[in-house]
Structure 1
Amino acid sequence: MTMQSILEETKIFLKHLGLNEEPFGVYYADTKPEKSYGPKPGVSISRELEDQRQIDMQEVFKTFSCVMGNIWLARKKNAAAYISSKEYGCPGGVFYCSMMKPNLRFIEHYVTTGFEGTPIHGERYLPSPESMRKFLDTVDPPKAQGKYCIFKPLSLFMDGEEPEFIIFFARPEVLTGLFVQTTFTTGEVDSVASPFGAGCTNILAWPLYYKAKGMEKAVLGGFDPSARKYMKADELTFTISLSLYQKMLKALPESMFNVGENWTTVRKKIDRSKKAWGEND
Structure 2
Amino acid sequence: MESRIADVIGLKTQPAALLWADNKPAHATEFKPGNWACIMWLAAGAAKGKAGVCSRDTFGCFGGGVGMGFGDQYENFPGGKGCFRYFLSSGNDGWETGRQAAEQVKPFMRKEAFDHFMHGEGYFKTPDLVQRYIDSLPISDIPGKYVVFKPLGELTDEETPQSIIFFVDPDQLSALVVLANYGRGDNENVIIPYAAGCQTIGIYPYREAQSERPRAVVGLTDLSARVYVRKMLGGNLMSFAMPMALFEEMEANVEGSFLERSVWRSLISGR
Residue 155 of structure 1: aligned partner: 153
Choose between structure 1 and 2 for higher RCO, CA contacts under 8 A separated by at least 6 residues: 2
1:87 and 1:154, CA in 2 relative to 1: closer, same or farther beyond 3 A?
same
Residue 79 of structure 1: aligned partner: 50
Task: Say if 2:85 and 2:130, in contact at 8 Å, map to a contact too.
Answer: yes
1:14 and 2:16 are equivalent in the alignment: no
* TM-score normalised over the length of structure 2: 0.82
- CA-CA distance at 1:245 after TM superposition: 0.9
Residue 69 of structure 1: aligned partner: 41
1:73 and 1:251, CA in 2 relative to 1: closer, same or farther beyond 3 A?
closer
- CA-CA distance at 1:215 after TM superposition: 4.2
Residue 22 of structure 2: aligned partner: 30
Residue 189 of structure 1: aligned partner: 187
Unmatched runs of 5 consecutive residues or more in structure 1: 43-62, 273-281
State the identity %.
28
* TM-score normalised over the length of structure 1: 0.80
Residue 49 of structure 1: aligned partner: none
1:194 and 1:153, CA in 2 relative to 1: closer, same or farther beyond 3 A?
same
Unmatched runs of 5 consecutive residues or more in structure 2: 76-80, 100-114
Q: What is the CA–CA distance in structure 1 between the aligned matches of 2:85 and 2:183, rounded to whole Å? A: 37
Q: What is the CA–CA distance in structure 1 between the aligned matches of 2:120 and 2:213, rounded to whole Å? A: 33
Q: What is the CA–CA distance in structure 2 between the aligned matches of 1:266 and 1:180, rounded to whole Å? A: 14
CA RMSD of aligned residues (A): 1.8
Residue 45 of structure 1: aligned partner: none
1:19 and 1:73, CA in 2 relative to 1: closer, same or farther beyond 3 A?
closer
Residue 240 of structure 2: aligned partner: 238
Aligned pair partner of 1:256 in 241, 255, 258: 258
Residue 113 of structure 1: aligned partner: 90
1:71 and 1:172, CA in 2 relative to 1: closer, same or farther beyond 3 A?
same
Residue 56 of structure 1: aligned partner: none
Secondary structure at 2:92 match in 1: coil
Task: Say if 1:97 and 1:201, in contact at 8 Å, map to a contact too.
Answer: yes
1:103-159 per-residue CA deviation (whole Å, 9 max, x = no partner) reads: 321433222222134552111112122222222222232211211111111111123
1:228 and 1:248, CA in 2 relative to 1: closer, same or farther beyond 3 A?
same
1:249-276 per-residue CA deviation (whole Å, 9 max, x = no partner) reads: 1111121112x421112121xx43xxxx
1:79 and 1:226, CA in 2 relative to 1: closer, same or farther beyond 3 A?
same
1:130 and 1:243, CA in 2 relative to 1: closer, same or farther beyond 3 A?
same
